[in-house]
Chains A and B, each alone.
Chain A
Amino acid sequence: MELFGILVIPLLASGFSLLPLGRRFAAPATLLATAIVLGLALAVALEASRTGHVAASGQWLTCDGLGALVLLLVAFVGFTAALFSWGYVAESVKRGRQKSIHQYYALYNLFVLSMLCVPLLANVALMWIAVELTTLLSAFLVGFEDTPEALEAAWKYVILTTLGAVLALLGFLILYWGSRVAGMEPFTWIGLVGAAPHTPPALIWIAFLFILVGFGTKVGLVPMHTWLPDAHSQAPASICALLSGVETTTVLYVILRLFPVVSAAPGLDARPWFIAFGLISVTVATLLLIYVRDFKRMFAFSTVEHMGIILVAAGLGGADAHLGAAYQMTGHAIAKSFCFFAAGATVLSVRTQEIASVRGLVRSSPVAAIALLAGAFAIAGAPPFGLFVSEFVILKAGLASGQYAVVGLLAFLVVIAFCAVMLHVNRMAFGTPEREMHTWALPRTCKLTLAFAAIPLIIIGIYVPAPLFELLKAAASAMGG
């Protein structure tokens, strides 16, 4: 029942935002809708962590541990980003060209809905449509600021990620072909795992490569990542939080779902490919992090890095590494959305995205500076934040299974990335400004969002509640740990 609610409520909120009557209340209505969705997602996650499986109507809507984790993360960031949007969008519309706020909220709700659909839809073909819709519905949100740069970013985003999705579609058609050759199984993830041992391995292998490259584009894996820093830096900060925090994770979830399918086929092993793509992404992202000049791009590159780390963790294999991967997904979604809220607050108070022109932020705009520092520490993986723990778990699991070279390289790159991020943010916060910086006041909802989003950011590094731990374990076992 909750699953239906999760899908219907954003639809209602989107429709309401377009009504002449509802236009003025689009922001509070969206906030209310996302709050209800978050509540329902929590209920689903609790049930999934207890029973391992939630189904509304087994044929169409179902949710296991991994799905529930992704659902919960999307719902959480959907709520906090809606809260952040309230003040941020009004502010950016005020200073820019007149753009209708209600259109923003109508699309916002649909975009969140499309991401919520991905882990819930049982049928793989429908899930593919949901992934494709996440791009199409967010295209205008990416270009919302209507600057030449934003439009350029939106263009690259749509063309490249759609191209990726269409390449992945052939992969899914080949998987369907394979499951029919193996005898008619329903075209669901469970059905695919069941059919895999009887499917000709060549089919699964080619399908896997098409989907890895195709959806890898949308996840931002190097070398298909070129659109990502543009889109994730030019969109409004609230949308960046969704794009970077959860959209990438949602698509990565689909790739991770393939892991048990490939493993079930005789003679195939996806792990080397996961490790190779993951390590290349982490390496390139780390290098780019050193030279980055725009602080929103910095967080975008850090997303590429984290997607790589999760992929490596999945590739290391074993229950512990997969637990680390699930933990890393959680930590990344929470920390990265927080980082973009902090970056948005910084942009609002100093009106620039250039690292070099922001100095001494801690004096001119203390709230933004402290948020930025906290976000940077969290995303770079410093203790006591969640990503420190998850990276530790992943590295330890890799050592335990004897993959020293991979672990060594990963640890080295993570440390370099840490230094790069901290160096940039440290200068922004504490450097001496060349001239007096003019700052603007922050809207109240921005501060409120930062305060609210900081709660899980701090908690999950210190203490993982028992239901969350059960959920992470269920998610890890769904990856075939």
Chain B
Amino acid sequence: MNRDWSELSPILWDSVRETLYIVGVTVGVGGVLGLALGVLLYATRRGNLLENVFVFTVLNVAVNVVRPIPFIIFITAVGPVTLAVVGTTIGNDAVIFAMSIMATFVTARIVEQNLVATDPGVIEAARAMGASRLRILVTVLVPEALAPLILGYTFLLIGIVDMSALAGYVGGGGLGNFAIVYGYQRFNWEVTLVTVLVIIGMVQLAQLLGNWLARKALHR
């Protein structure tokens, strides 16, 4: 047992709380905005409810441009925007801002890809009942794709936990920062290992919850 643990455990738990905060806000903001963007991306595609070549092309290109940028570069690249909106480019809030933008675009693609699998017959049935296009998007399309969407969001959540590890580089906190400051920089491999185990535990819990919810949503 490392003699530092009495001193380190409270910091570790603070870091867990910070990670949960950063990930929670990002999933909330990026998840909602990404859902809207993803539905729009799906609906404006040729042959779909809101077919619009211009809107689809703009959104599609935007998603393709933003998504592949390595996140650590993306944080600095959006720095001016972060400064204008958040007021600073360092700390948790600045990181959350950058992460939310990236999460929005990632989510948009995940949502779109899961909606493509929706049975077009169900959408046709809703149209035949006289439902408006907006109503169909909200009350048919999204609920029908709920199970794959839940799994998609679980995948997203894990990606965001991954992203949050970089918060430490721009003065943010969380488990990533903890592992770097108390593990890597102090050559304390044990601290790094414990951090990794905590992250694995969190991710496993999220995956189990996601799988369970998706199964419930299938109504078999």
Answer yes or no: do A and B interact.
Answer: no
